Structure 1
Amino acid sequence: MYRDPVESLEPLHHRHAAIRTLRVGMIGIGTVGSGTFRVLARNRADIAARAGRSIELVMVAARNLERAAGVVGDSVALTADAMQVATHPDVDVVVEVAGGTGPARDWVLAAIAHGKHVVTANKALLAVYGAEIFAAAREKGVIVAYEGAVAVSIPIIKALREGLAANRIEWVAGIINGTTNFILSKMRDEGLDFAAALAQAQALGYAEADPSFDIEGIDAAHKLTLLAANAFGMPLRFADAQVEGITALQGVDVACAEQMGYRIKLLGVARRQAAGVELRVQPVLVPATHLMAQVSGSMNAVMVKSDAAGLTMYYGAGAGSEQTASAVIADLVDVARLDGVHAAQHVPHLGVHAHATNALAVLPRAAVHTSHYLRVPVHAVNQIQAVAASLAEQKVPVRQVALAAERPGTGPQVLVLTGPVEQGTLDLAVHALQARAEVAGAVTTLRVESLEG
Structure 2
Amino acid sequence: MSESGPPSRLRVGLLGCGTVGTEVVRLLLAHAEELSQRAGVRLELSGIAVRSLETERDPVVPRELLTTDAEAVVAGSDVVVELLAGVQPARDLLARAVAAGTTVVSGNKAVLATSGPELYEAAEAAGAGVFFEAAVAGAVPVVRGIRESLAGDRITRVLGIVNGTTNFILDEMTREGSDFADVLTRAQELGYAEADPTADVGGHDAAAKAAILASLAFHSRVAQADVPVTGITDITPDDIEAAAAMGYTIKLLAIAERGDGGLAVRVHPALVAHDHPLAGVHGAYNAVVVDAEAAGTLMFYGAGAGGRPTASAVLGDLVSAARLRTSGARPPVESRYAALPVVDPATVSTRYLVRLDVADRPGVLADIARAFAAHDVSVEKLRQVVTREGAAGLVLVTHRQTEAALAAAVADIAELDPVLRVTSVLRVEGS
TM over 0.5: yes
Partner residue of 1:272?
258
Q: Which of 285, 290, 299 lines up with 1:299 in the alignment? A: 285
- 1:200–1:294 Cα change, 3 Å: same
Q: Secondary structure at the match of 1:269?
A: strand
Partner residue of 1:399?
380
Q: Which of 206, 210, 233 lines up with 1:220 in the alignment? A: 206
**Whole-angstrom CA distance in 1 between matches of 2:203 and 2:31:** 35
1:292-371 alignment runs, 5 A limit: 292-339=278-325, 345-347=330-332, 349-350=333-334, 352-353=335-336, 356=337, 358-371=338-351
Kindly provide the CA deviation profile for residues 129-148 of structure 1, in whole angstroms up to 9, marking residues without a partner as x: 11111111111110010000
TM-score of the pair, normalised by structure 1: 0.90
Q: CA deviation at 1:411?
A: 4.9
Q: Which of 419, 426, 442 lines up with 2:399 in the alignment? A: 419
**Whole-angstrom CA distance in 1 between matches of 2:390 and 2:311:** 48
For 2:380, the aligned partner's letter is: R
Q: CA deviation at 1:165?
A: 1.6
Contact 2:240 2:250 in 1 (8 A): yes
**Whole-angstrom CA distance in 2 between matches of 1:237 and 1:435:** 38
1:444 aligns with 2:424: yes
1:241 aligns with 2:227: yes
- 1:126–1:404 Cα change, 3 Å: farther
1:40-189 alignment runs, 5 A limit: 40-67=28-55, 70-74=58-62, 76-88=64-76, 91-189=77-175
Q: CA deviation at 1:448?
A: 0.4
Partner residue of 1:29?
17
Q: Secondary structure at the match of 1:429?
A: helix
Contact 2:360 2:386 in 1 (8 A): no
Q: Secondary structure at the match of 2:278?
A: helix
For 2:157, the aligned partner's letter is: W
Contact 1:131 1:236 in 2 (8 A): no
Contact 2:6 2:327 in 1 (8 A): no
**Whole-angstrom CA distance in 2 between matches of 1:187 and 1:176:** 18
Q: Secondary structure at the match of 2:210?
A: helix
Q: Secondary structure at the match of 2:380?
A: strand
Q: What is the aligned residue count?
A: 426
Kindly provide the CA deviation profile for residues 285-333 of structure 1, in whole angstroms up to 9, marking residues without a partner as x: 0001111100011000000010111111010001100100000011101
For 1:211, the aligned partner's letter is: P
**Whole-angstrom CA distance in 2 between matches of 1:409 and 1:119:** 62
1:229 aligns with 2:215: yes
Q: CA deviation at 1:70?
A: 4.4
For 1:130, the aligned partner's letter is: G
**Whole-angstrom CA distance in 2 between matches of 1:75 and 1:54:** 21
Q: CA deviation at 1:236?
A: 2.7
Contact 1:113 1:136 in 2 (8 A): yes
- 1:105–1:405 Cα change, 3 Å: farther
Kindly provide the CA deviation profile for residues 360-414 of structure 1, in whole angstroms up to 9, marking residues without a partner as x: 11121331210111001112165334323321222102111111475x9995210
Partner residue of 1:194?
180
1:374 aligns with 2:374: no
- 1:255–1:381 Cα change, 3 Å: farther
Partner residue of 1:390?
371
Kindly provide the CA deviation profile for residues 111-151 of structure 1, in whole angstroms up to 9, marking residues without a partner as x: 11222111110000110111111111111110010000011
Contact 1:381 1:412 in 2 (8 A): no
Partner residue of 1:211?
197
**Whole-angstrom CA distance in 2 between matches of 1:84 and 1:69:** 21
**Whole-angstrom CA distance in 2 between matches of 1:317 and 1:70:** 23
**Whole-angstrom CA distance in 1 between matches of 2:386 and 2:192:** 32
**Whole-angstrom CA distance in 2 between matches of 1:39 and 1:423:** 48
**Whole-angstrom CA distance in 2 between matches of 1:405 and 1:123:** 47
Contact 2:265 2:345 in 1 (8 A): no
Contact 2:157 2:256 in 1 (8 A): yes
Q: CA deviation at 1:79?
A: 0.8
For 2:313, the aligned partner's letter is: A
- 1:409–1:74 Cα change, 3 Å: farther
For 1:40, the aligned partner's letter is: L
For 1:58, the aligned partner's letter is: S
Contact 1:384 1:403 in 2 (8 A): no
**Whole-angstrom CA distance in 1 between matches of 2:390 and 2:217:** 44
For 1:384, the aligned partner's letter is: L
For 1:231, the aligned partner's letter is: A
**Whole-angstrom CA distance in 2 between matches of 1:141 and 1:410:** 72
Aligned-residue CA RMSD in angstroms?
Answer: 2.0
Q: Secondary structure at the match of 1:441?
A: strand
TM-score of the pair, normalised by structure 2: 0.94
Deviates more, 1:426-435 or 1:375-384: 375-384
**Whole-angstrom CA distance in 2 between matches of 1:171 and 1:137:** 28
Q: Secondary structure at the match of 1:362?
A: coil
**Whole-angstrom CA distance in 1 between matches of 2:376 and 2:104:** 52
Partner residue of 2:408?
428
- 1:20–1:115 Cα change, 3 Å: same
For 2:133, the aligned partner's letter is: E
Q: Secondary structure at the match of 2:419?
A: coil
**Whole-angstrom CA distance in 2 between matches of 1:106 and 1:435:** 53
Q: CA deviation at 1:341?
A: 5.3
Q: Secondary structure at the match of 1:159?
A: helix
For 1:258, the aligned partner's letter is: A
User: Percent sequence identity over matched residues?
Assistant: 41
Q: Secondary structure at the match of 1:440?
A: strand
**Whole-angstrom CA distance in 2 between matches of 1:405 and 1:230:** 48
- 1:122–1:404 Cα change, 3 Å: farther
**Whole-angstrom CA distance in 1 between matches of 2:280 and 2:345:** 28
Q: CA deviation at 1:237?
A: 2.5
Contact 1:265 1:283 in 2 (8 A): yes
Contact 1:371 1:419 in 2 (8 A): yes
